[in-house]
Amino acid sequence: MDSAEHILIRTMKENDIEQVALVERLCFAEPWSKEDFVFSVSADYDTGLVAVDNNTVAGFCIMRRSFDSADIINVAVAPDYRKKGIGKKLINSLLEEGNNFQIKEYILEVRVSNKAAICLYENAGFGEIGVRKAYYTNPTEDALIMGRYL
């Protein structure tokens, strides 16, 4: 697969959770549990999207809404699917979903060492708004707080 052209972006469903949790474990040292994803899929204030290649979940993203604000709380693309535009497609689709809820402000945290993700977010219109010292563990690392305002 060379690009994200044939990747389908759709709403995350409960039957996606097994594959979503696998992508999560491949991407993060301290992954969410399956129960965390079940909660998120069932929560009225969360919007989850999956990127699907045939029947395989290649990536996902989740935002948690509160009035006209949203926190992007989880974004992951499986290692075999990186650098193909899937992250961009997921983030753009999530921002489009936010329009349906009149979201005016988006906030997220990202490891300061995750240059690829920072570049992705900057290209989507996010800017640095602060740093959370020693926010991440395993290894301990600061989080860059980024925001996008409409």
For residue 90, the enclosing domain spans 8-107
Write out pLDDT tens, residues 56-89: 999 999 999 999 999 999 999 999 999 999 999 9
Write out pLDDT tens, residues 16-34: 999 999 999 999 999 999 9
Q: Is 136 a catalytic residue?
A: no
Whichever domain contains 39, its CATH number is 3.40.630.30
Per the domain annotation, does 80 fall within a domain? yes
Q: Is 109 a catalytic residue?
A: yes
| Active-site entry in 109, 122, 128, 135 | 109
Query: 2 pLDDT band (50/70/90 cuts)?
Result: low
Per the domain annotation, does 25 fall within a domain? yes
To 5 degrees, how large is the angle CA 82–CA 74–CA 56? Answer: 50
pTM (2 d.p.):
0.94
Residues 6 or more apart whose CB falls under 8 angstroms from that of 46 comprise 40, 62, 63, 64, 65, 73
Per the domain annotation, does 57 fall within a domain? yes
In angstroms, the CA 144 to CA 92 distance is 20
Per the domain annotation, does 123 fall within a domain? no
Per the domain annotation, does 121 fall within a domain? no
Whether 1 has a pLDDT exceeding 60, the answer reads: no
In angstroms, the CA 144 to CA 135 distance is 9
Whether 111 has a pLDDT exceeding 70, the answer reads: yes
Per the domain annotation, does 115 fall within a domain? no
Whether 141 has a pLDDT exceeding 80, the answer reads: yes
Whether 135 has a pLDDT exceeding 60, the answer reads: yes
pLDDT value of position 3: 73
Per the domain annotation, does 3 fall within a domain? no
Average predicted confidence (pLDDT) for the chain? 96
| Active-site entry in 97, 121, 136, 141 | 121
Write out pLDDT tens, residues 117-134: 999 999 999 999 999 999
Per the domain annotation, does 43 fall within a domain? yes
The single residue listed with the structure tokens 């009035």 is 67
The tally of domains found in the chain comes to 1
Report the amino acid identity of residue 45.
Y
Query: 4 pLDDT band (50/70/90 cuts)?
Result: confident
